[in-house]
Structure 1
Amino acid sequence: MTESGTILMGDEEAIKASYAEMNAIPVDWDLSDKPVEPLRKTQTTLGGETTISGPGTFMGKAMRTITLAPSNLEGWWLDRADLPNSLPIRVGIANVWTTGQIVSNIVLRSGNPHNYVRMVEHLISLRMGMGIDNMVIKFDSGDPPLFEQGSLDVVEAIKSCGVENSEKPVNYFTVKKPITVGGTYGDFVTLAPPLNPDNPQLTIDAAINFNTALGQQRIIFPVCKELTEMASVARTNTSNAKVWYCRTIGKLFADVRNLGYNKKNVSIAGKKRYINEPRLVHEGKALEAVWHRSVLDLLAAIALIPNGQFVGHIKSYKAGHRLDCELMKQLYLNEMLVPLDEYLKGVE
């Protein structure tokens, strides 16, 4: 079996070439030996409720508010408080509406076409790293706040609420063998079983490769609270060319016209240098873009497994929301998920 395993979508030869390309990229930060807590046994929810506000993501001149609250329902739920007759939207692959056209983002919707929330990835990704299984996020519109500190405001809000444990067991899932989806831009994502069956964890090997100052970046790490909090400051990155597009031709499109992006809440890279100061510098190299890709984008797709947590190893190269969500869809269409306990019994 090749490293990519079973290919559920994409061209096999192109994926092999992309694997070789990624494997040739040096690892900028290898945290694979970082000790992490064993998997939790029982489900959790928030111990309290809190509210945070910020400028709108798609309506930057308007203030938007979200409330994080405990839930007796399993999973994460998005509740449009401004649509009182609409049911909460469960965070799950079945409720993905689109991954955006001009502005790449995950949009979740349920029932009424007005009952949607855009740019949910920077919120729901935290389901994978903050140790909270069940929660409801209440919105005052379909446009969430955009914070200057990435998702750190949300992380701190979750921490301020505390944790309440229940007696319900956590459901863990994995895959029996590596599975891969490939895109049309040399991009791919692979899900594989846990690297260490004796101490199963969720681990990530992610790399990006841009023709801008971002260049090539690669990190390997286990998903845990400490690294989730550290990486939560990573902002969405964009090119200087796209900034000029948004300021000119982009004004013709509703999704772009009122974007709340600015030099404080977005990382901007020119061809040879950053336009604003990058974050998450390690040994002299800015790794903000690859941390954002790994923790706040890729894990948002993994959070779309609605009834449990994924445990295994993920390898991602040059991918984005569209391919991430396609992977999750193919995962269910091909019935590839298995209970972790079942997999571990087979490798004893």
Structure 2
Amino acid sequence: MGDGDAIRTSYAEMSQQPVDWDLSDKAVEPLRKQQTTLANSTSISGPGTFMGKATRTITFEPTDMEGWWLDRTDLPGSLPIRVGISNVWTTGQIVSNIVLRSGNPHNYVRMVEHLISLRMGMGVDNLMVKLDSGDPPLFERGSLDLIEALDRCGRVTIDKPVQYVTVKEPVTVGGTYGDFVTLAPPDDLENPQLTVDCAINFNTAIGQQRIIFPVCEELTRMASVARTNTSLTKVIYCATLGRLFADVRNLGYNTKNVSIAGKSKYMNEPRLLHEGKALEAAWHRAVLDLLAAIALIPNGQFVGKIKSYKAGHRLDCELIKQLYLNQVVVPLEEMNGAH
């Protein structure tokens, strides 16, 4: 989907962009055989993302249901929301984010990406997340607080096999800003993994950043501290004209929980430096945003290769939707059989 010529041009641009951190040779564990859920429950609280003056609480609980689920405890009678592409409501207007909704229009959860992205890296297949509102907490340490909460719960193995899926062939969705996302089958069907090649290019201090890595628990933990990045221009907008809009007026962003980039320098200290270059924005894009979209594939754990250039939530979700509209998601064992 998209303009083929524009996508080819963007592919050429990405191939010319240097790789800042190449972890493609990192050894990772083989794919898990059996499903898992949590051994215990735990709760965690913080200021709201969209209502920064309010305290919001989420609770992680084990579940017998397959997949990840979001349950609004403040809406009795509403069914839990399955984390899946069919329940994506919007990817935001002023504030870019993935919003999941099911049934009742009030039964939604905003800014779910920093939470559901952990489905891809933390080895938890089945999870119930209970929330006291549709506005999850926003933490100063990115998603590290959520990972530490999952750690406190422990894991138990379930007598059900993990289902792995991939795509039949490479598929690409291109956007209108020179952006694209490509999914492809794994190169090694004997030892398949999920690998990411992610490049961004901002007209701010963030500039060009590119990382290549396999998805694993160690790198998910490392990248979890990466915060949402925003420009100084948008910060000024939110503090002035943006106050006219409900989505922005009470936004919980501050100088500690977001990375702010001016034209030539950061307004606060960036994280995840490698060889003297801050790669926080690339890690945030790759792990906490892009993998959140991959987590929306509900019928199994995706394995294969992901290539992303200058893309965002809208294009990510469009790609996942197109996978199902075009019926290109297949069980991994079918690919093994074909080879």
Q: Give the TM-score normalised by the residue count of structure 2.
A: 0.99
Matched, 1:312 2:301: no
Distance 1:158 1:345 in 2: 36
Q: Secondary structure at the match of 1:19?
A: helix
Q: 3-state SS of the aligned residue for 2:286?
A: helix
Give deviations 1:195-225, integer Å, cap 9, x for gaps.
2222100000000000000000000000000
Quick one: which amino acid aligns to residue 94 of structure 1?
S
CA distance in 1: counterparts of 2:117 and 2:172, whole angstroms: 21
Q: Does 1:98 pair with 2:98? A: no
Map residues 284-323 of structure 1 onto 2, 5 A cutoff. 284-323=276-315
Moved over 3 A (4+): none
Query: In the alignment, what sits opposite 1:280?
Result: 272
Matches of 2:33 and 2:76 in 1, distance apart? Answer: 35
- From 220, 224, 235, the counterpart of 1:232: 224
* Alignment-derived partner of residue 203 in structure 1: 195
Measured on the aligned residues, the alpha-carbon RMSD in Å equals: 0.5
Which residue number corresponds to residue 133 of structure 1? Answer: 125
Aligned equivalent of 2:39: 47
Q: Report the Cα distance in structure 1 between the residues aligned to 2:269 and 2:124, rounded to whole angstroms.
A: 32
Of 329, 334, 337, 2:329 maps to 337
Number of aligned residues: 339
Could you list the runs of 5+ residues in structure 1 that have no partner in the other structure?
1-8
Q: Percent identity?
A: 78
- Of 15, 35, 51, which aligns to 1:23? 15
SS at structure 2 position matched to 1:238: strand
Q: Does 1:194 align with 2:224?
A: no
Cα deviations by residue, 1:133-182 (Å, 9 ceiling, x for unpaired) = 00000000000000000000000110111110011001100012100000
Aligned partners of 2:76 and 2:194: how far apart in 1? Answer: 37
Match of 1:257 among 240, 249, 255: 249
Does 2:102 match 1:85? Answer: no
Distance 1:250 1:330 in 2: 33
| SS of equivalent residue, structure 1 residue 127 | helix
Residues 5-24 of structure 1: pairs in structure 2 closer than 5 A:
9-24=1-16
Aligned equivalents of 1:321, 1:195: Cα separation in 2: 26
Alignment equivalent of 2:262, drawn from 267, 270, 273: 270
Mapped partners of 2:37, 2:156: distance in 1: 5
Deviation at 1:83, TM superposition (A): 0.5
Is 2:100 the partner of 1:111?
no
Shift of 1:267: 0.2
Q: Which digits, 9 at most, give the CA deviation of each residue in 1:46-80, with x for residues without a partner?
A: 11100000000000000000000001000000000
Cα distance in 2 for residues equivalent to 1:297 and 1:195 = 24
Counterpart check, 1:59 vs 2:55:
no
Look up the SS of the partner of 1:21 in the other structure.
Answer: helix
Letter in 1 for 2:13: E
CA distance in 1, matches of 2:330, 2:109: 30
User: Counterparts of 1:164 and 1:263 in 2: how far apart (Å)?
Assistant: 38
Name the amino acid aligned to 1:31: L
TM-score by length of 1: 0.97
Q: What residue number does 2:317 align with?
A: 325
Unaligned runs of 5+ in 2: none
Residues 270-317 of structure 1, C-alpha deviations (whole Å, 9 max, x = no match): 000000000000000000000000000000000001121000000000
Which of 150, 160, 176 pairs up with 2:142? 150
Distance in 2 (alpha carbons) for counterparts of 1:231 and 1:124: 15
Aligned residue type for 2:241 = I
Corresponding residue for residue 242 of structure 1: 234
CA distance in 1, matches of 2:187, 2:92: 33
